[in-house]
């Protein structure tokens, strides 16, 4: 039993806290479960259903030349910051009525975790 606990502790970065979840790991898990189907694992754009999200923070909204954005998102303008991403993920249609993204995340803690993960994608 002690060996299993040691293995789990090592799997958790040696923290000793079995089942401990960092904000990054929670955000990554949420992203994989909710966003990766369209945005690709690791935010690489996958099959082109949605734009790649690598380097999204600080990027001009609807600015990638390798993706065709909705007219609504292009008209929105601005820069993707933690705040604008939070608004968009909370309710894409309120942020840019007519945007292609239909999935939202009403839970602020989940949005915060997803955005923290996106910040690591460079």
A 10 A CB-CB count for 22 gives 13
pLDDT digits (tens, 9 = 90+) for 40-76: 999 999 888 999 999 999 999 999 999 999 999 999 9
Q: Give the C-alpha separation, 62 to 74, whole Å.
A: 5
When computed from its CA atoms, the radius of gyration of the chain, rounded to whole angstroms, is 17
- CATH says 22-118 is which class? mainly alpha
Residue 22 has what pLDDT? 74
Residue-range domain boundaries for the chain: 22-118
| pTM for this model (two decimals) | 0.80
| φ and ψ at residue 35, rounded to 5 degrees | -115, -30
């Amino acid at each position: 039993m002690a060996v299993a606990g040691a293995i789990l502790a090592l799997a958790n970065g040696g923290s000793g806290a079995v089942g401990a979840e960092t904000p990054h790991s929670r955000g990554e898990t949420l992203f994989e479960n909710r966003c990766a189907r369209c945005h690709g694992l690791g935010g690489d754009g996958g099959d082109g259903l949605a734009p790649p999200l690598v380097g999204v923070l600080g990027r001009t909204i609807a600015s990638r030349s390798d993706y065709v954005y909705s007219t609504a998102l292009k008209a929105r303008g601005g820069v993707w910051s933690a705040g604008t991403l939070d608004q968009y993920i909370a309710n894409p249609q309120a942020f840019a009525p007519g945007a292609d993204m239909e999935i939202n995340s009403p839970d602020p803690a989940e949005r915060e975790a997803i955005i923290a993960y996106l910040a690591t994608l460079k």
